[in-house]
Amino acid sequence: MCSSKQKLALSATLLILGLAAGCTGFFVNPTLSSLAIGPQNQTITNSRTLQLTATGTFSDGSTKDLTSKVIWSSGTPTCATINSTGLLTPAATVSGVCNTTVSAAFGTITPATTTVSVSAGTPTSITLTASTTTPAPNSSVTFKALATFPNSSTQQDITSSVTWINSDTTDLTLTNGSGTGTVSASAAASTAINVAASFGGVNSNTVTLTVQ
């Protein structure tokens, strides 16, 4: 038989354990919820490497560097390879521009991914064209940027890798990584919008759009 004091102590102990279980699940360690890779959507030349990192977010909201613990992979090894520490190395045979999807995996968590573009070097020229130079309000314009690289006479499509130079971001929406722009529905007739593409410090010719 338990004495009154023993019963009281047992009740108090059970109460504390109950509160602990309710608040923290008996202090179970937080579990990994998601992974993220950084930096995202980089463009590099084949003369340099790129260090990527993997960050894990846990069930309690905390984060941790998991760069050396995840399994790294490159979707296109002929473009670039990546080692166990997240160091991406372009292939020596790259000509023009190539893209590879890099992923970081850990257990059953959905792998984190990013796209890395590798160029053969600084282009000698970039030619920019547009599907139309007389767009209507609330319409789309498709741009294409073709680059010529040293030791190659074949132009390479680098549209998804360029940085857009847009003189009127109010009347034309252009997003890096996409070659399609949207003209604002409120763009006034005769509005002129100048667009150019930049890659590796080289700018293309300027295309002028005139809203109709």
CATH number of the 32-119 domain:
2.60.40.1080
pTM check: above 0.75: no
Which is higher by pLDDT, 18 or 43?
43
Q: Where are the domains of the chain?
A: 32-119, 125-210
Q: How does residue 24 score in pLDDT terms, banded at 50, 70 and 90?
A: very low
How confident is the model over 122-149, as pLDDT tens digits?
889 999 999 999 999 999 999 999 998 8
How confident is the model over 62-76, as pLDDT tens digits?
999 999 999 999 999
Fold that domain 125-210 belongs to in CATH = Immunoglobulin-like (2.60.40)
Residues ≥6 apart with Cβ < 8 Å to 147:
96, 97, 119, 123, 125, 126, 127, 155, 156, 158, 199, 202
- The answer to whether residues 37 and 114 touch, using CB atoms and an 8 Å cutoff, is yes
Task: Say which DSSP state 55 is in.
Answer: E
Q: Kindly report the number of other CB atoms within 10 A of residue 112's CB atom.
A: 22
Q: Do 32-119 and 125-210 show the same overall fold? A: yes
Residue 207 pairs in a beta bridge with 195
How confident is the model over 95-111, as pLDDT tens digits?
778 899 999 999 999 99
Residue 189 pLDDT > 70: yes
